[in-house]
Amino acid sequence: MWFAGRLRHIDSHEYADSAKPILHNMADMARALNLSVLQADILLFLTVRETDERIKIALDHFSMSRYFSTRKMQSVMKIVFDVSASDMTEALNGENGLWGIGLLCPNTRHHGMELLEGIADMLHYEENALTELMDNFARQSVPPTLCREHFNHIDSMYKATMALLSAAARRNRNILIYGAPGTGKTEFVRHICLQMGLRLWEVETLDTNFNPLKPGNRLASYSLLQRILGRSNGNCILFDEVEGVFHPSFTQDYKAWINKSLESNIAPCFWLSNDISAMDPAFIRRFDLLIEMPSVPEQYKREQLNALISENTQDTLLDELCGHPALEIAHIRKSVDIVKTLPKGSTLGVVDILNSYIKANGHRPVNTKPDQDDETYDLGLINTNIDLTNLLQGLSNNHGQVCLYGPPGTGKTAFVRYLAKKLNKKLHCHQASTLLGSFVGETERNIAVAFEKAQRHNAILFIDEADSFLRKREWASQSWEVTQVNELLVQMEKFTGTLMLATNLIENLDSATMRRLPVKVKFDYLTPVQCHRMLTQLSSELDAPLRPLLSRFKFTPGDIHAVLKRLKLLCQPITYDNLLKGLEQDSDFLINRNKKPIGFIN
């Protein structure tokens, strides 16, 4: 055989000592992977071709173009090894072929066939290539940092996983775990393997230069690990961030390979994903168990924060942090670890770090001080077409879906915060920045997740700028504009909690949405009497007379608060006249709202 002859040639070569690692490594690799003689021939051929001038010259003679096709390379090796076409096909593409084992790079270009990146160098230069191969394509997992009680909220799934990985039923098991980042998916797997006494190996996501590995290379690495680790009954594999492997852009060319990977694995494997919306149902049905990982209960998040947040911190702040839709247990634990490493006297606190995560996800940062606007919110200073006291009472006894509409600054958002406080419920706020996605289907997924989290936490779901998502479908110019409206309507139908929508442009909302909203509350400009009352309260000049200016212009609570902030910044006294003067100055900017239509001019 060509392989044996090549070994004898190297042994008699004057550089035999430097070539010995490849001989030992080839023998170890062939034994570990149970390679046939022909497969070992191919492996050595592909390993030494770049350093052997005769092989390079031979390939140049065969090559009619810059790159070999895979078929051309197979024809060359068939001649070199003097084997039949069927033998060559079996060695490469058979049930235990080199492609399936994971030794060949799926993204081959150069000469039509290449070893998986890094294998040739390991065989050439490393004393123990098999050990280096394991270190290159996988890492042994670290012990978990979460305890069993942190997974009590998915106790039935925890027990089912333990039963599935019992020694008698362990082989050929695939478990898919999906959910938002930071919910504890990896910790769950590590804890399960620790309890079962399994050695957990994690498929690498980066190459030796810290560049992201392509999906094909990661799947090849996984196949290679299965071949090596499957020999022992005490190993388990963790394949994290599998979105790329199951993305249609990759699976369209490698569907058969993925199916085989899910059906023929020996060592049990956990497949982890943040999002499975793009995964083909044909793949999903091949998993033995699917686990949707919800957020860790708030009591455990609170335990992490209690030690670092001062005792005089209001409970509402802790409640808001622990129940925030953008914060998971991983964010809180990481923030706590960072604060512990900061030098004494540092002004950066755990809430600041958590707020950075919240802002990065497009949400409004959590206020570390009580919101004075919420504390002094007065329903009598809001001009609506419905009695808000009655609405508040109704929502305290029943869940409902309400649309708040009207000009900016009329108090819609402030009312929702006031409502959440009065009902003693968490508030999940969303707007365009937290729901609209850059890719097709991402907005729909974000909407579904927002509703699911609000349902699970029994929180009030508040969607601001609702016209961004619920525009009339007949105005749509793209299909995704229709599908995001459809998704929101479907979620509204299923949602059994309290939903509050706010918009400045109710006339733009889809008609189907309007039918689904039993209560529509118009927030209008303040009446002159309300405006006068608000000014007297802020200035403490309760006996000030009502001024004609308040009847000539339309003002909102937001307009008045803007003037109040300006007076404070300019260190001017908060008097009725100063407030009124500020409103008069701002009236020039508000002139459009105060114009009255003339004839047919709108």
Task: Judge whether 263 lies within some domain.
Answer: yes
Q: What is the pLDDT of residues 262-291, one digit of tens each?
A: 988 889 999 999 988 889 999 999 999 999
Q: Do residues 257 and 154 both lie within one domain?
A: yes
Q: Do residues 415 and 432 both lie within one domain?
A: yes
Grade residue 593 by pLDDT with cuts at 50, 70 and 90: low
Most confidently predicted of 114-123, 380-389, 437-446: 380-389
CATH of the domain at 473: 3.40.50.300
Q: Do residues 191 and 245 both lie within one domain?
A: yes
Q: Do residues 273 and 145 both lie within one domain?
A: yes
Question: Which residue, 460, 398, 399, 464, is CA-closest to 427?
Answer: 460
Laid out side by side, the sheet with 460-463 consists of: 383-384, 519-524, 401-405, 499-503, 460-463, 427-430
3-state secondary structure of 241: coil
Number of domains in the chain: 5
Task: Judge whether 372 lies within some domain.
Answer: no
pLDDT computed for residue 418 by the predictor = 93
Task: Considering only residues 96 and 545, tell me which one the structure prediction assigns the higher pLDDT.
Answer: 545
DSSP 8-state symbol, 598: B
Q: Do residues 284 and 303 both lie within one domain?
A: no
Residue 591 burial (CB count, 10 A): 9
3-state secondary structure of 329: helix
Average pLDDT over residues 134-156: 90
Amino acid identity, position 577: D
| Mean pLDDT of the residues in the chain | 82
CA 424 to chain centre: 29
Task: Judge whether 379 lies within some domain.
Answer: no
DSSP 8-state symbol, 151: G
Grade residue 124 by pLDDT with cuts at 50, 70 and 90: confident
Task: Judge whether 383 lies within some domain.
Answer: no
Q: What is the pLDDT of residues 61-72, one digit of tens each?
A: 665 444 557 777
Task: Considering only residues 49 and 350, tell me which one the structure prediction assigns the higher pLDDT.
Answer: 350
Range of the domain at 189: 137-292
Q: Do residues 56 and 122 both lie within one domain?
A: yes
* Contact status, residue 80 vs residue 45, Cβ threshold 8 Å: yes
Enclosing H/E stretch for 338: helix 329-341
Q: Do residues 110 and 229 both lie within one domain?
A: no
Given a cut of 60, whether residue 598 has pLDDT beyond it is no
DSSP string for 196-209 = HTPEEEEE-SB-TT
Domain end position, chosen among 506, 521, 536: 521
Domain end position, chosen among 343, 361, 379: 361
- CA angle, residues 367, 371, 377, in degrees to nearest 5: 150
- CA angle, residues 529, 534, 539, in degrees to nearest 5: 125
Q: Do residues 512 and 539 both lie within one domain?
A: no
Q: What is the pLDDT of residues 13-39, one digit of tens each?
A: 444 455 567 778 888 888 888 888 898
Domain end position, chosen among 496, 521, 546: 521
DSSP string for 424-485 = T--EEEE-HHHH--SSTTHHHHHHHHHHHHHHHHTPEEEESSGGGT-B-GGG-SSHHHHHHH
Given a cut of 50, whether residue 1 has pLDDT beyond it is no
pLDDT computed for residue 14 by the predictor = 42
pTM > 0.85: yes or no: no
Q: Do residues 328 and 412 both lie within one domain?
A: no
pLDDT computed for residue 168 by the predictor = 61
Task: Judge whether 599 lies within some domain.
Answer: no
Question: What is the C-alpha to C-alpha distance for residues 134 and 132, in angstroms, rounded to an integer?
Answer: 5
Task: Judge whether 597 lies within some domain.
Answer: no
Task: Judge whether 380 lies within some domain.
Answer: no
Given a cut of 80, whether residue 336 has pLDDT beyond it is yes
Task: Judge whether 105 lies within some domain.
Answer: yes
Q: Do residues 287 and 154 both lie within one domain?
A: yes
Two tokens, residue 102: 């994971």
Q: Do residues 148 and 276 both lie within one domain?
A: yes
Q: What is the pLDDT of residues 509-563, one digit of tens each?
A: 878 778 888 999 999 999 999 999 999 999 888 788 888 888 888 899 999 999 9
Question: What is the C-alpha to C-alpha distance for residues 427 and 411, in angstroms, rounded to an integer?
Answer: 16
Q: What is the pLDDT of residues 285-306, one digit of tens each?
A: 999 999 999 988 888 888 888 7
Q: Do residues 349 and 496 both lie within one domain?
A: no
* Contact status, residue 146 vs residue 329, Cβ threshold 8 Å: yes
3-state secondary structure of 173: coil
